[in-house]
Amino acid sequence: MLSCQLHHGPNMARADNLGNQALLEAGERPLERSLSEPVDIKTSFVTREGSYRLMTLSEYCRPNRVAFQPQGQTSPQVNVSLVGLGDEGDRICFNHGREIYVYEYKGVKKAADLTKPLDKKFYKGTNPTCHDFNEASVEGESVNLIIGFTTGQIQLIDPFKKEFSKLFNEERLIDKTKVTCLKWVPGSRSLFLAAHASGQFYVYNEELPCGSTAPNYQPFKAGENFSVNTCKTKSTRNPLFRWYLGSGASINHLAFSPNGSQLAVVTQDGLLRVFQYDSMELLGTARSYFGGLLCVAWSGDGRLIAVGGEDDLVTVYSNEQKRVIARGQGHRSWVASVSFDCYLEGESLYRIGSVGHDTQLCLWELPEDNLVPPRPRAKRRSDPLQLVGTPACPRLDECPMLEPLVCKKIAHERLTSLIFRPDCFIVACQDGFVYTWARPSKPNT
């Protein structure tokens, strides 16, 4: 059973005195930890559109600004979720160690007030691993937030209605392994997906209960190296569906396409799988050069998918041509998060961002020319295992190799999350700090 202690209100004082924050521009002071930071940590960089700047007052972390120190175990990756509440502004959620924080996100215009988290939870015996806001559930200041844990349970809360809480897989009868990724089904107020380290992901309806005994499944659909099952019960209960992929390798991340019709899934066996979600059809696959794939993202138009992982590469897959069309080589360790900058997508190129365990941010540009199908090449000696030399995993000399437009060390600890927004981008660091970088100012017209 989950056990959590809740802390609310302004009684958690910041270690530093920001003075009158509302009157400060969010980038007008130096980094507070500058005395211990070497000079190679970048706080700005320049691209052709202008200068990007770290906004040091727009920094989110634990209220006392002291990093959580796990004892005898590796702390789960710090993830970030954002939601817009219309006139009520934006909300940001991040996990760190055994804690979950929800703040009002003020972007680049106002300083973060760390003394006033909207919600804070501390869990005993388990660590939060992932979370997701449900945009379809937004009503005023109310919004549903799901949280997954290392011990397999899932909690549904409303950060602004403290008394509201539901638990799924509470007794771990559905899956005993770590929850690796949670996603609400786009447009649905009640359906969400929960991926686990067991190589399975489940479809839940938050309005339905889980059973008091372990589910008994029956086949529903099967395809190439995947199967879908439903619960064999007289009354409908959770989970509605269980998807099992491949050899049971951990599902590390999943993402819906912009229109919500397709689902991209990456696993520890190095495979990207793209499904038509409603019909449960496998549309295409790609493979890492080696090692597991850790993250996946869609372009704004749904034509491309970017993945990153343990091969230190950013791999771009064409959803139309069903092949890998480019790789980006610039990271010196695992790629933890990848994202398309949809606000800079144009007719002639795509902008992609990635962050990794090497503490570096890389920006990539993919020209439209890379989307043109290649000319047939002379046949080479085939790989008996069909691991490389195929459209799903071309050899390094068989597809364009991208060099980073920008590659900067921006933190001391490994970077874990990257989100692009209209006026900034957000990165999270494993030490529990969430940073905001302002985009270049637009020229006056």
313 touches 336 (CB < 8 A): no
282 touches 223 (CB < 8 A): yes
Would you say how long the chain is, in residues? 445
> Bridge partners of 243?
201, 228
Look up residue 354 and give its two tokens. 């990635």
370 touches 327 (CB < 8 A): no
What does the pLDDT look like over 81-126, one tens digit per residue?
999 998 889 999 999 999 999 999 999 988 888 998 999 999 999 9
Beta-carbon contacts of residue 397 (< 8 Å; ≥ 6 apart)? none
Q: Which of 20, 199, 172, 33 is nearest to 111 (CA)?
A: 20
Look up residue 145 and give its two tokens. 């937030």
**How far is Cα of residue 256 from the mean position of the Cα atoms in its chain?**
12
Per-residue pLDDT at 318 = 96
228: region left, alpha or beta (phi > 0 left; psi from -120 to 50 alpha):
beta
What are the residue ranges in the chain where pLDDT is below 70? 1, 3-39, 65-73, 347, 373-387, 443-445
Cα-based distances in Å from 418 to 377, 422, 425: 37, 14, 7
What does the pLDDT look like over 243-268, one tens digit per residue?
999 889 999 999 999 999 999 999 99
Per-residue pLDDT at 368 = 79
**Amino acid at the residue 369:** D
Q: What sign has the CA pseudo-torsion 204, 208, 212, 217?
A: negative
337 touches 415 (CB < 8 A): yes
pTM recorded for the entire structure: 0.88
Per-residue pLDDT at 40 = 84
Per-residue pLDDT at 396 = 81
- Residue 382 phi, psi (nearest 5): -75, 150
Neighbours of 119 (CB within 10 A): 20
